[in-house]
Amino acid sequence: MHFVVVGNSIAGIEAAIALRNRDAHARITVVSYEHDHPFARVSLMYIFCGQLRLEDTEFYDRDLYARMRFDRVRDLVVGVDPAAKTLSLKSGATLGYDRLLLAVGSTARRLPWAGAYDAPGGVHHFVTLPDLEGVNAVAKPGMSCAVVGGGLIGVESAEVLHLRGLKVHFLVREPWYFPVALDKAEAEVVAEHIRHHGLDCRTGTPVDGFERRDGKIVLRLPGEELPVDFVVGAIGVVPNTGFLVDSGIALAPGGAIETRDNLESTSAPGVFAAGDCAQVTWPDGSRRPEQIWYTSRDQGRAAARAMLGDDVKYRRGTWYNSAKFFDIEYTTAGFIPFAAKPHKHQGVGAPGEEGHWQTWYQQLPGKAVTQRIVVKDGRVVGFNGLGTRWDHQVFMRWIHERRSLDYVLAHMNEARFDEEFMEPFRVLPTATLVDGA
C-alpha cells in the first residue's frame, strides 16, 4: 500500500505518524512545498521577531522522516487525478498513490480591492513562510503600515510590526475587536491595551479601497485617506485548494474539501482531507473548516485511521483554544457564543438555544484581566479568560462534570497556571451575573 500525504504541517505529519505506527510495511510519502520539516505555524510571529529561529519551532526531531521511513518529496502539487490515482507536481514529475491525504491547510484570504495584486509589493500577508519572507523584506523601522482585519493573525502581525519600530494602523471593520470570540467589554480591554502600546487601533473602520500614489498605498477609510508604506491583509484564511478546482474532488463553496464523517472525500474514494482544508460538521450542525491547530492534529489522526480502513466518525470534542493579544493571555473553553452572531457558537456539542442562559463576568480594576463564565440551566458550559494563564483541561473537566457556577467559582484557583506570578482568583463585589449567553 502506498499512502501519500500532501502537507507536512500538523494535520499531515500526525496522519503520517499514525499510519506508520499501525503499518510498519506501508510505503508512506510526505509531499510539501514550504519546509523540509514540520514547524509550528502558530509561532510565525516569534520567527519574524527573531525570538525563535524556524528550526526552534520544528516540533519533531529532524530525524523523524528517517525514523519513520517516510519518503520526502519537496515539491508543490499542482493537480490531482483521482481516477488515475496520480498527483502532478510543479517540477513536472507525477506521483502515484493508493490512498491520498490532502492536508494542504490555508492561505491568506486576498483583499477584495481592485488592482491590489496587480503590481508587486505594497500588499502582504502573514500565513505562510513565503508570506513571512515578503513582510520581512519590506518592513523597516520608521515605516508606516496598515494591518487590515482584526482576528488572531491581524493582532499578531500588528504586534510584530510595532516591535520592529513601524508606525502601525490596526484597522478593524467590526464594531469591536474579534467579535467571534470576545464580547464588547472584553474586546475593549484588548483594544485599550493595544492603544496603550502606541498603535493606532481603530474599530468600526472598514477600508473601501486603495490606490498606489507616490510610492505609497493610500487607503480609503470613512471620511479620510490614510497613506502607508504597505498593507498586511489579515481578513481571514481560505483553504489552499485552488489546484483541485477541476480535479473532480468536490469542494464546498468556500473552497474546503467536502468530506464524509470519516474525512474521506464525498466524490473521490481513496482521497481524504484533514486540517484547515477540510469541510467538517460543527456541533451546531453547520459545515465549515475548523482552522485551528489542535483540531487539525485530531483530524489528521482520525483520517489516518480511516485510510487504514477503521470505522471512523470524526467529531470535535469540547472546544478550547489559547492565544495572546500582545501580552494579554487568552484562554477559552466550551461554549462561548459568537457575540456578533449569538445563534452561532464555538462550544460544546450544540447545546441548543432553549434553556436558561446566564453570563457571569468580572474585570480586575485597572487591569487587562477579565473572566467570563457561561451558564446554562445552572451548569457551567463555557469560559473566556483574558490576562491570566488558565489550564483549559481543568475548565473542560468541569464542563463535562456539569459543575454549578458556585462550585466553579469556589475552585477557580485550581485552574491557574503560573501560580507564583498570578494573583489568586477571587470574586469581586463588581462581578455581574446577567441573563443571556
Question: With binding defined as CB under 6 A, does residue 10 bind ligand FAD?
Answer: yes
Angle at 79 between CA 314 and CA 14, to 5 degrees: 35
Decide: is 33 part of the binding site for ligand FAD (CB under 6 A).
Answer: yes
Q: Based on the shown chain and the rule CB under 6 A, indicate whether residue 321 belongs to the binding site for ligand FAD.
A: yes
Q: Compute how many other C-beta atoms are within 10 angstroms of the C-beta atom of residue 98.
A: 13
Q: Is 240 in the site for ligand FAD (CB under 6 A)?
A: yes
**Triad 236, 240, 243: Cα angle to 5°:** 145
Q: Which is nearer to ligand FAD, 240 or 247 (CB)?
A: 240
Interface with ligand FAD includes 7 (CB under 6 A)?
yes
Collapse the DSSP code of 37 into the 3-class scheme (helix H, G, I; strand E, B; otherwise coil) and give the result. coil
Interface mask (CB under 6 A) for ligand FAD, residues 59-78, using x and -? -----------------xx-
Q: Is position 134 an interface residue for ligand FAD (rule: CB under 6 A)? A: no
Of 91 and 432, nearer to ligand FAD (C-beta) is 91
Helix, strand or coil, per DSSP, at residue 246: coil
Q: Which stretch binds ligand FAD (CB under 6 A): 6-14, 140-148, 308-316, 418-426?
A: 6-14
Give me the residues paired with residue 55 across strands.
none
Which of 338, 376, 360, 395 shows the shortest CA–CA distance to 174? 338
Under the binding rule (CB under 6 A), the answer on residue 104 touching ligand FAD is: yes
Looking at 233, 239, 255, 275, which residue binds ligand FAD (CB under 6 A)?
A: 275
Locus of grid cell 513601524: 166
- Which residue is listed with cell 456539542? 349
* Cell numbers given for 151: 482576528
Q: Considering the complex, what minimum distance in angstroms separates the CB of residue 4 from ligand FAD?
A: 11
What count of Cα atoms within 13 Å lies in the side-chain half-sphere of residue 182?
A: 27
Residues 152-171 contacting ligand FAD, CB under 6 A = 152-153, 156
- Tell me how far apart the alpha carbons of residues 89 and 63 are, in angstroms, rounded to a whole number: 25
The full DSSP string for 307-324 is HTT--------S-EEEEE
Q: What are phi and psi of 372, to 5 degrees?
A: -130, 130
Instruction: In whole angstroms, give the CA distance from residue 76 to residue 8.
Output: 12
Q: How far is the CB of 297 from ligand FAD (least distance, A)?
A: 8
Q: Which of 97, 243, 320, 325 binds ligand FAD (CB under 6 A)?
A: 243
Nearest residue by C-beta to ligand FAD?
A: 105
Give least dist CB 75 to ligand FAD, A: 7
| 191 touches ligand FAD (CB under 6 A) | no
Strand partners, 96: 86
Q: Which of 31, 64, 168, 232 is close enough to bind ligand FAD by CB under 6 A?
A: 31
> Does residue 363 contact residue 391 with C-beta atoms inside 8 Å?
no
Piece in contact with ligand FAD (CB under 6 A), picked from 19-27, 205-213, 290-298, 339-347: 290-298
Which of residues 156 and 298 has its CB atom nearest to ligand FAD in the complex? 156
Give the count of residues interacting with ligand FAD (CB under 6 A).
35
Min CB(414)–ligand FAD separation in Å = 24
Helix (H, G, I), strand (E, B) or coil at 1: coil
Closest to 209 (Cα-Cα) out of 200, 219, 217: 219
In this structure, the chain runs to a length of 437
**Interface with ligand FAD, residue 11, by CB under 6 A:** yes
How far is residue 315's CA from residue 261's CA, in Å, rounded to a whole number?
A: 8
**Which amino acid appears at position 69 of this protein?**
R
Q: Which stretch binds ligand FAD (CB under 6 A): 15-23, 101-109, 253-261, 346-354?
A: 101-109
Residue 229 vs 290, nearer CB to ligand FAD: 290
- Grid coordinates representing 351? 447545546
**Residue that has been written with the C-alpha cell 461554549 in this structure:** 335
Pick from 3, 4, 5, 12 the residue near ligand FAD by CB under 6 A: 12
Per CB under 6 A, 239 contacts ligand FAD: no
Instruction: Identify the H or E element spanning 405.
Output: helix 405-411
Between 126 and 314, CB nearer to ligand FAD: 126
Q: Which stretch binds ligand FAD (CB under 6 A): 60-68, 187-195, 286-294, 400-408?
A: 286-294
Q: Can you give the binding site for ligand FAD, defined by CB under 6 A?
A: 6-12, 31-34, 41-42, 44, 76-77, 103-106, 126-127, 152-153, 156, 240, 243, 275-276, 291-293, 296, 321, 323
